[in-house]
Amino acid sequence: MSRSSRRLVTVLAAVTVASTLAACGGSNDNGGGGGSTANEASDTGVTADTIKIGSHYPLTGVAAPGYSTIPLGAQAYFDYVNKNGGVNGRKIDWVYKDDAYNPTNTSQVVNELVLKDEVFAIMGGLGTPTHSAVVDFLNSEGVPDLFVASGSRLWGEDPKKNPDTFGWQTDYESEGKIIGQYIAQKFPNAKVGLFLQDDDFGQDGEKGVRQFIDKQVVSAQRYTPGNTAVGPQIAALKAAGADFVVGFNVPAYTALSQLTALQLGFKPQWFYSNVGSDPTLVGALLNNFSQGKVADASSLEGTITTAYLPTVDHPDDPWVQLFQKVWDASGQTGPMSNYHIYGMSQAYTMVQALQAAGQNPTRKSLMDAVEKAGADWKGPGLAPFRYSADSHMGIGGMSVVQISGTSTKELQPVMTTDLGDAKIQAYDGKESTPPSSGIPDEKAAK
């Protein structure tokens, strides 16, 4: 945003605040911020009418495909909130920077966000190695480090070590456990092959899966991101006699593994983790190969996966309808994708957190609010967050779904669990629906 247009926004925001206050007679004070009724510049990055939130994403380079569109989703939702009065009258100023998925760059751009742009909080910083480089810095500076966009356990398992950092999505180990238990119950005779990314994602997923089906695993093959020749790995799974393959891989490798399996005539039952199974994306990729000549074989029909957020293939879902409305209103080009939904969902949680932090939020009140109230927030996530004083882990459950045609059908309702030997339980909460305004209305956390 240019300097002049930023100034314009500030003026507009001030006008909006004034008119809102006039219209509501100050009724939108929901009691936070120590009972004061006026907006103040209560902390770094917070003025009377703006809140600055920052983040880092790979916008260029090899990791850019897919991930670079997440911040556009968040932008769309923040724009929507801003147009409807903002959070307690404050507009959200969303600043995100490119780190090209290189931790050295991440450290530089997060320095810029914190020291120069003076953001109030970081939201949704993407990637395990990249974000690892800034966790200590953010915690030593006391900057809220909310909703890290990776399923690593690092972000939430030890709040004493990183008190300012919070996870958001279901962690890979819990996902692995839910997948493992499902296979143990429904496919007790399957010979399972594992197709794993050779990093914490694959490792944590494998650990979870093996808790339940260690004896069923006939082969575990690992690929390194960047090495696109997965022929040897898929051939090894086939040679080991696997008839059921669980993939903890990113979407590009879903397409590559499907393609390689097609070459080898390898037809197991596939089960991809949530990260790798964007059916719309992968399906579109696969259907384009060979100009549709192998469309029959390239569809992901029958493939099983997990879900913790609603997806674009369910246009009837009330959350998807809300996000579609938000996306269409944002004026951004192209159809809405699951990456956009991910960004909008994180932005939704962020707005809940800001509301709960009180009328005049401080960094401390923001983090306290997430820790105290976060577990009760209703949002697009299928299962609740696990936030508490002892855990900063995010969404704690998933459903199991099967790809059918251009959509997915549920095979197993949402189950919740946690790291280690925590039990897997059916989630008994009600499915949430978005508020009619499309904007959450959390009370200030006490």
Partner 1 sequence: MSEPQSPANARAGDELIEETPFTATAAANAPSAQAAGGRSFLPKSTLLRHLLILVLSAVGAVILLEVTDPFTNSQLASLTYYAIAAGGLTVLTGMNGQISLGHGALMAVGAYTTALFLGVDGEPLPLPVIFLVAVAISTIVGALVGVAAARLHGPYLAGATLALAVGLPGLALYFRDTLGGEQGLRVRAPEPPASFTNFIDLVSGNPASGTKWLAYVGVICLLITFFLLANLVRSRIGRTWRAVRDQEVAAELAGIDLGAWRVLAFVVSAACAGLAGAVLALVVRLAAPSGFTLVLSLALLTAIVIGGLGSLLGALLGSALLVFLPPFVTNLGGDFGLDQTKAAQLAPFVYGVVLIVAMIFAPAGIVGTIRLRWMTARAKRAVAGRAAHGG
Partner 2 sequence: MQQFVNVTLSGLIQGSIFAAFALALVLIWRSTRIVNFAQGSMAAATSFIALALIHSGQSYWLALVVALAAGFVLGAVVERVIVRPVEGGPELNAVIVTLGLFVAIQALIAIIAGSEFQSFPAPFGLRGFTFGSTTIALTPNSVFVLIAVLITMVLLVALFRFTRVGLAMRASAFGQEVARLLGVRVGRMLTLGWALAAVVGSLSGLLIAGGGLVYPAYMDSLIVFGFVAAILGGLDSPIGAIVGGLLLGLALSYVSGYVPRGSGLVNLAALVILMVVLLVRPGGLFASSTARRA
185 binds partner 1 (CB under 8 A): no
- Beta carbon of residue 251, minimum distance to partner 2 (angstroms, whole number): 7
CA–CA dist 107, 383 (Å, integer): 32
Task: Please select the residue that binds partner 2; options are 68, 105, 219, 417, rule is CB under 8 A.
Answer: 68
Residue among 213, 408, 217 at smallest CA distance from 310:
408
Stretch that binds partner 2, among 33-41, 235-243, 345-353, 371-379 (CB under 8 A): 235-243
Residues 197-236 within binding reach of partner 1 (CB under 8 A): 198-200, 203, 224-225
Cα–Cα separations (whole angstroms), residue 82 to 86, 90, 94, 240:
4, 8, 11, 55
Only segment of 16-24, 146-154, 283-291, 358-366 that touches partner 2 (CB under 8 A): 283-291
CA 421-164-116 angle, to 5 degrees, is 145
Angle ∠(311,314,318) on CA atoms, nearest 5: 90
Q: Which does 289 bind (CB under 5 to 8 A by kind): partner 2, partner 1, none?
A: partner 2
**Selection from 103, 105, 132, 135 nearest residue 122 by Cα:** 135
Q: Which is nearer to partner 1, 2 or 436 (CB)?
A: 2
- Burial pattern 365-386, b for ≥16 Cβ within 10 A else e, equals bbbbbbbebbeebbbbbbbbbb
When the beta carbons of 126 and 259 are compared against partner 1, the nearer one is: 126
> Is 252 near partner 2 (CB under 8 A)?
yes
Choose, by CB under 8 A, the member of 9, 95, 218, 294 that binds partner 2.
294
Beta-bridge partner residues of 90:
87
**Is 32:360 a contact under the CB 8 Å cutoff?**
yes
Interface with partner 2, residue 424, by CB under 8 A:
no
- Spatial CA neighbour of 363 closest among 143, 75, 109: 143
Which partner from the list partner 2, partner 1, none does 357 bind, CB cut-off 5 to 8 Å by kind?
none
286 binds partner 2 (CB under 8 A): yes
User: Cα 406–408–412 angle (5° rounding)?
Assistant: 170
Count residues contacting partner 2 (CB under 8 A)?
A: 48
Among positions 94-123, residues that touch partner 1 (CB under 8 A) are 95-98, 100-104, 107-109, 111-112, 115-116
**DSSP symbols for 295-349:** HHHHS-TT-EEEESS--TT-TTSHHHHHHHHHHHHHT-SS---HHHHHHHHHHHH
Q: Which residues bind partner 1 (CB under 8 A)?
A: 1-3, 5, 59-60, 68, 71-72, 95-98, 100-104, 107-109, 111-112, 115-116, 128-130, 132-137, 140, 152, 154, 198-200, 203, 224-225
Q: Which residues bind partner 2 (CB under 8 A)?
A: 59-62, 64-66, 68-69, 198, 222-224, 226-233, 235-236, 238-239, 251-252, 255-256, 259-260, 262-266, 281, 284-291, 293-294, 297
